[in-house]
Amino acid sequence: MQRRIFGAGAAAAVLGLLAPLAGCGSGAGSDSGTLRLVAAEYGGDKATSSRPFWDRVAKEFTAAHPGTAVEVQLVPWADVDREVSRMVKAGKAPDIALMGSYSDFAADGRLYSADELLSVASEANFLAPLAEAGSIGNTLYGLPWVASSRLLFFNEALFKQAGLTTASGAPAAPKTWTELRNAAKALKGKGVKFPYAMPLGPEEAHAEAMIWELSNGGGYSDSAGNYTLASDRNIETFRWVRDNLVGPGLTGPVAPAQLNRAEAFAAFLRGEVGMLNGYPSLAHEARARGIGVGAVAMPVSDTLASGETPPTVGVADWIMAFRQNGKRAGIAQFLEFLYQDKNLTEFAGRYHLLPSTVSATRTPAGAIDDNDQQFLTALRGAQLYPVNDPAWVEVSDTIKRNIGRAVEPGRDPKTVLEEIAAKTHQARKEN
């Protein structure tokens, strides 16, 4: 299933129970004036739960729209896509869902389009890369909620200890693959456990893989939406990683195919990682622990170092509205209310994520601090996963479970990528 943006642990199972919010009806579907929303739980425990946010929004919405209440069911991220799919198959689709994927429902004709729900101004307010990823053809179905981009993080203290500094003594961030490799060698020479942490384990390998592919002018798909998983550029990328980072032991004591994102992030927070790709919430947590963090665009291959600047990876979570219960008017009112700047910035700020609308990123009360501005800048020109392909959930799962083998010493990445491409072709035929 689709991955989440926020990196906290899965919420306790009790948070996934249906819990009517203040002023809401008592039974799902029992009140024609009640909207049912199934939302991913972004918090890892009671203290960080999303529940207070939804309580407030529902109470204020009902006060402004008497007769229409909102019930919210929070589901852990690991389960939400599967749970909503189960509801839909059982003929009990929620009115609104906040989760990681939308395109399979849109392809089946189950979703309202944005132009059936939002004003022209509201629909035009989404950041362009997010609106593009939320659209099938020219029709927006997946409404982006919060987003993030990925940058290369480096531990400033470890860089200084390894002599990786500028003339002024500041940490010298790598700009090319060769500089990244040389920095990793210097870090290893100082005993750093993970000179470069490369999480190509099944949790979120598709993110790390795409970051590296883009930095060499490759990627998952071309401008026409056709998958290019086994392109010459991608093969070249993984051969370089295999020969220059993994083979020489610069990616740590854990093989990339066995390293998951959560484990890599935890090692970074323990001060054991020199470099890794991360997003705003990790940077905030590291700084809260006293770790100096530098964040820069992913270094590019030496063949691109002449000036071409590839996009960074962007990620978003999606709100969608189901047709099944015929509550278009109520859903439209609620979404216009939900996407007010104050609501979006409050939610994004709570989890150190980026709001999805232009106006929310500009509001003085917004959640974007100086450290997050560079992530917003990167997001504006980012490339997202091909989530508008109905087969993407299956394709991403195939990538996550197999791409780590492409960097194993002694294995040819071309064979691995061609196997993934073949499975992807089959998945598209079946969707």
For residue 237, give both structure tokens.
Answer: 């990328």
Enter the pTM of the model.
Answer: 0.88
Q: What angle do CA 222, 232, 409 make, to 5 degrees?
A: 125
**CB-based contact 417:235 (threshold 8 Å):** yes
pLDDT score recorded for residue 19? 37
351: alpha, beta or left? (left if phi > 0; alpha if psi -120 to 50): alpha
pLDDT score recorded for residue 15? 35
Q: Among the residues of 6-74, which ranges form H helices?
A: 51-64
pLDDT score recorded for residue 261? 94
Q: What angle do CA 28, 30, 32 make, to 5 degrees?
A: 105
Q: Give kind and range of the element (H or E) at residue 316.
A: strand 313-321
pLDDT along the chain (431 residues), means of 10: 38 35 36 86 92 97 95 93 95 97 95 98 96 95 97 98 96 97 98 98 95 97 91 98 98 96 96 97 94 96 82 96 96 98 94 94 67 90 94 93 97 98 89 71
For residue 197, give both structure tokens.
Answer: 């942490």
Length of the chain: 431
**CB-based contact 296:152 (threshold 8 Å):** yes
pLDDT score recorded for residue 368? 64
Cα–Cα distance for residue pair 391/221, rounded to 1 Å? 13
Cα–Cα distance for residue pair 389/428, rounded to 1 Å? 9
55: alpha, beta or left? (left if phi > 0; alpha if psi -120 to 50): alpha
Cα–Cα distance for residue pair 373/380, rounded to 1 Å? 11
For residue 282, give both structure tokens.
Answer: 């990790």
Q: DSSP strand E in 143-272: where?
A: 143-149, 151-155, 194-196
For residue 346, give both structure tokens.
Answer: 């409050």
Which pairing describes strands 273-278 and 151-155: parallel, antiparallel, or unpaired? antiparallel
**For 317-348, b where at least 16 C-beta lie within 10 A, e where not — what string?**
bbbbbbbebebeebbbbbbebbbbbebbbbbb
